[in-house]
Amino acid sequence: MFFPPNAVPEKKSFIPIKEVYLEDGHICIKRSLAEKIFRTEMVVFTIFYAKDKTFLAAPASEESFKNIHKVQQQMLKSKNLSGDKSISIQEILLDNDIAENDRDLTFLAEEALHILKVHL
């Protein structure tokens, strides 16, 4: 099939600078940080606080996190062969009228508590 030049829009390439970034409706986490926070776990507890536009995530083994917050259980997906991870937040973005553009995100990694706090 032939497409004339410039007939098919190309996706703008986003190159993240930070260890946590938003891409295609997913919070993406670089491997080095993901290993510190989530270790080898593939299931995480998450919660979104709309008032502060804050997203929290912790490994499913952190029962204290589950007891403190009203969490949802989600898969921590493998994003690429480099070992980066991702968590889908498409529903959160739509329900809370948050910009969906790919961008670096402000975050706080509580390594001792195994909690990742991300500002959307």
Q: Is residue 51 part of a domain?
A: yes
Considering the entire predicted model, what is its pTM?
0.88
Instruction: Tell me, yes or no, whether 86 lies in a domain.
Output: yes
Bridge pairing between strands 20-23 and 103-104:
antiparallel
Structural domain includes residue 98: yes
55 contacts: CB under 8 Å, gap ≥ 6: 27, 46, 47, 48, 49, 89, 92, 117, 118, 119, 120
Question: Would residue 65 count as lying in a domain?
Answer: yes
Q: What per-residue confidence (pLDDT) applies to 14?
A: 84
Q: What is the pLDDT of residue 67?
A: 94
Q: How many domains does the chain have?
A: 1
Strands (E), 26-99: 26-29, 43-49, 54-59, 72-75, 77-78, 85-88
The answer to the question of residue 9 being in a domain is: no
Boundaries of domain holding 77: 20-119
Residue 54: inside a domain, yes or no? yes
Residues of the chain where predicted confidence (pLDDT) is lower than 70: 1-12
- Does the residue 4 lie in any domain? no
